Structure 1
Amino acid sequence: MSGRGFLSKYFIGAAAKNLKGTEVDPKVSRGHEFQGVDVFRAFVGTPSDRETIPVTYLWMDDSGEDPVRLELTGTWYNSRKRQPHRSPEYRLYYPAAAEPVVYRAKENDTLFLCMTADRRVLAILCPLGSSIEQKLLWLFGLSLTSGFELSQRDIAGEGGRDVDFAARFVLEEIGIEPEEATPAAFEQLLRKFGLVFPPTAKLSKFARDTVKDVDPVAQPDKTLMAWMEHEEALFRHMEKEVLAERLRTGFVSGNEVDVDGFLKFSLGVQNRRKSRAGYAFGHHIEAVLQANAVRYKREATTEKRNAADFLFPSEEEYADPVFPAARLTMLAAKTTCKDRWRQVLAEADRINEKHLLTLEPAISRTQTDEMQKQNLRLVLPQEIHQSYHEDQQGWLLSVENFLEIVRGRE
């Protein structure tokens, strides 16, 4: 179900560097420019005079908050124009309006410069060692240098990685929605439900029923990913049809434009996306467990009314103090972790090692090290493992690995 096209459909080139204090700290310098970016002229060009270019400035971190995003411009110029005896050195000057993004960064934080296919530069700033830094380095196939100079990739020339589920995940975080071919089952979906979003359980079952060549017993990792990708594609195409129909009717109240109605509708779209993905994930995990004849209780109550997403083998055995704790297992399910993984630690006091199944690629070493200290083990579909560093991968579990653990405790 992966393989929706190459990254070159969306980007011409990408680069990354660590930032100097002179670039982002107003106490050090108010020069308002990114330095050491001369090689990026391979994508921006080498104008003889200062050139104003469209730049989107983003601050992203692991807080779980939406990125701070400013649609502005920048000035691309040769800082040595008045020194003809020296080779050109191009820099990117950012305006004062970009300060709410740029001044969030500190020395040694990371800057990504990305030239999009429509020739807008994304200037993404993020903390050093953060998960978003690791995601973007993985997405673009970049590594940071020991100095403060750019390392970059010619994505248009190389094609870039395929836009699979993990790559799509990262692209959407930076505000790019990859194109998708219409799923073969989409017309069948419309005939069955019309232009009305079906309940999440029904849409998930429809997605599973219309995916071919998967086996949740022989290939649980591949199957879970295929189900999630297929449902995501079906939902997004349904969403486009529903939104188009709603926009055609407009937002008018009497003779006035209904701004509040539009904002409420827009917020509803975003909330539906987030909540539906979480429910779908839970439905598909449950289907894998059922196919593998594993005993479990979904949304089981433990201590203090805490609820575990999946408790093995049952709620009754968990509540029985005689039943060995070593034979109990719990699994939390979160499509994305961010800092919310800590919530899992309060679930199921009798179980020492917690398990968390997620679809989030490239979580930082800092976060996974902390998870290990807190005795929480990450479970991810096997194909997402490759987005993590090699030294992290040995600690990760696949869905198949987790099922083996549960069966061994039955």
Structure 2
Amino acid sequence: MTAQFDMFAQSHEEPGVVELAALLRSCPLVLVKKLSNNDRDWARLPNKHQAGVYISPRERDSGFFPNLVDKPRSDGGAAIRECFFRTEWPQVDEVREATRLVHYTSKGPETHLTGVPKAAFATLSPASFLVIGRYGVDGAARFQCLTIDSASDDALVLADTLDLPADFVAGVFEPEAALAAERERILDFAGEATAAWLGGTIAQFATANAALPSTAVLARMAREQYLAGHHLATLDPFLIENPGDTVREISRTIEWELFRKFQRRERAIELVRTILGDTPGDVTVTAVIRSLIDNIGEVDRLMLSASQQRKSRAGYSFEHQIEAMLAAGAVPFEKQVVMDAKKRPDFILPSLARFVKPVPGAANGLILSAKTTLRERWKQVQREMAGGDLFLATVDENVAANAIEDMATLGIVLVVPEALRMSRSTEYVRHTNVIGFGDFFRTELAGRRMPEWGCWAGPSHGGQ
């Protein structure tokens, strides 16, 4: 079984993960906010007026923060509602005695958390998180705050532990309840595994139920579930309003839930086999307790986050869904074709021959590369260009502005889901070399290239 990250460990090579694990383990109530660009820009750019983090009315009025009270005013202006409380910021070794939550009623619902350390926000990637843990209630409440960089392993641990959806914005959670719910899901299937153990067929049961499907099979299952749920017969990108959001939902939500379902089965079976073994017999309560004590480390690992295994499979999922969309749209392509110097781009459109030797006066072929996360990997992709056009598809939210600008100077066009393209948490909307999947299919392909490639691009495909 793939080794899992131990959120209950006392030490780990990533200090941030330890701090996050400690907060989630000990704190009864946690507020999580995905940071918008404005929530970060004030700490890293000059001439920004916002000096803190926007808090939505739902979270403001949830009971998580102290009650807002009217600030006395002598000028007769619109009411200002505020409260002050102590916040601790262990990552930057600061304590703020008077962090302020303030609502200027003249500005509508807009509420800000101010009096927070700039150092905690200044270097964060786009779509990072603010996590606030509340200990105690009312006047005795104290708040511990962490900022979680979206490009770090901490972000995966946070998302997996609290089961944050791909389109998550903000919410208040009870971590122990989230962990208990995950344990219950595992233990539900453990009952079936125990019955198999009692019948002496645990090994056969494990073979039939514990193996994760291949990435291609899991991708197909997710795709079929999406199509059924949306009453669609095809994944044709020319017939879907926002095909990028569709790819994101299939690969980052539906397929992830399917993956977790299979992984829970895997963990449940491993749990039963770890505690009881493979051979049924007269098992006493004392023997079970002793086995639990002897194997407590392994039991903990079986109950923990699937983040690392998720990371290793996510890229294949994204690539499978793009391939299915290309095929459904009748877009000609070749996959993983070996070019010179052993370059192997994900997709070449319409073909390697057309890419290497363009037809005079016609639109060139292109390379479409698929990367779930970019970080520095886009520099590897750049070597695949071979003098042609390169489109880089991603669902990565945390690509920094300077990286997008560097890609623009090299002629790389980013293709992202439509919701991410316009999101206030990403840097994409600020750059002209970023387009949505819909623009890629309808404008770049059907509107410009496919007719010149001799491919069908009828009215429903946005063609002539």
Q: TM-score range by the shorter chain?
A: 0.5 to 0.7
Matched with 2:31 is: 11
Matched with 1:236 is: 260
Deviation at 1:125, TM superposition (A): 7.4
Matched residues, percent identical?
Answer: 22
- Give the secondary-structure state (helix, strand or coil) at the position aligned to 2:345: strand
- Give the secondary-structure state (helix, strand or coil) at the position aligned to 2:337: strand
1:315-348 superposed Cα distances (whole Å, 9 cap, x missing partner): 2333447677942111110111112111110003
Deviation at 1:202, TM superposition (A): 0.9
CA contact (8 A) 1:377 1:396 kept: yes
Matched with 2:420 is: 384
Q: 2:211 aligns with which of 169, 173, 196?
A: 196
- Pick closer, same or farther for the CA change 1:263–1:223 going to 2, 3 Å: same
Deviation at 1:278, TM superposition (A): 0.9
CA contact (8 A) 2:33 2:169 kept: no
- Pick closer, same or farther for the CA change 1:294–1:270 going to 2, 3 Å: same
Q: Which moved more, 1:285-294 or 1:339-348?
A: 339-348
Pair 1:205 & 2:211 matched = no
CA contact (8 A) 2:271 2:299 kept: no
Deviation at 1:271, TM superposition (A): 4.2
Pair 1:221 & 2:275 matched = no
Matched with 2:147 is: 124
For normalisation by structure 2, the TM-score amounts to 0.51
CA contact (8 A) 2:271 2:302 kept: no
Matched with 2:168 is: 167
Pair 1:280 & 2:317 matched = yes
Deviation at 1:291, TM superposition (A): 0.4
AA in 1 matched with 2:328: A
Deviation at 1:57, TM superposition (A): 4.6
AA in 2 matched with 1:195: A
CA contact (8 A) 1:200 1:279 kept: yes
- Pick closer, same or farther for the CA change 1:288–1:77 going to 2, 3 Å: same
Deviation at 1:166, TM superposition (A): 3.9
Q: 2:270 aligns with which of 238, 246, 256?
A: 246
Any gaps of 5 or more consecutive residues in structure 2?
Answer: 1-28, 45-50, 69-84, 100-113, 137-142, 156-163, 173-177, 190-204, 278-290, 454-464
- Pick closer, same or farther for the CA change 1:301–1:259 going to 2, 3 Å: farther
CA contact (8 A) 1:43 1:115 kept: no
Deviation at 1:200, TM superposition (A): 1.0
Matched with 2:15 is: none
Matched with 2:436 is: 398
Matched with 2:326 is: 289
Distance 1:43 1:14 in 2: 18
Matched with 1:97 is: none
- Aligned-pair Cα RMSD in Å: 5.2
- Greater C-alpha radius of gyration: 2
CA contact (8 A) 1:221 1:398 kept: yes
Residue correspondence of structure 1 range 148-187 to structure 2 within 5 A? 164-167=165-168
- Give the secondary-structure state (helix, strand or coil) at the position aligned to 2:213: coil
Deviation at 1:374, TM superposition (A): 1.7
Deviation at 1:260, TM superposition (A): 9.7
Matched with 2:199 is: none
CA contact (8 A) 2:412 2:433 kept: no
Residue correspondence of structure 1 range 15-54 to structure 2 within 5 A? 43=65
CA contact (8 A) 1:306 1:348 kept: no
Residue correspondence of structure 1 range 81-96 to structure 2 within 5 A? none
Distance 1:389 1:376 in 2: 16
AA in 2 matched with 1:406: L
Pair 1:330 & 2:353 matched = no
Matched with 1:29 is: none
Distance 1:348 1:265 in 2: 43
Deviation at 1:194, TM superposition (A): 3.0
CA contact (8 A) 2:31 2:131 kept: yes
Deviation at 1:221, TM superposition (A): 2.8
Distance 1:13 1:317 in 2: 47
CA contact (8 A) 1:281 1:335 kept: yes
Deviation at 1:312, TM superposition (A): 0.7
Distance 1:56 1:78 in 2: 13
CA contact (8 A) 1:385 1:393 kept: no
Question: How many pairs were matched up?
Answer: 301
1:35-83 superposed Cα distances (whole Å, 9 cap, x missing partner): 999x99x94799xxxx998x67559xxxxxxxxxxxxx9766479xxxx
Distance 1:323 1:267 in 2: 57
- Give the secondary-structure state (helix, strand or coil) at the position aligned to 2:327: helix
Matched with 1:315 is: 352
Q: Which moved more, 1:387-396 or 1:255-264?
A: 255-264
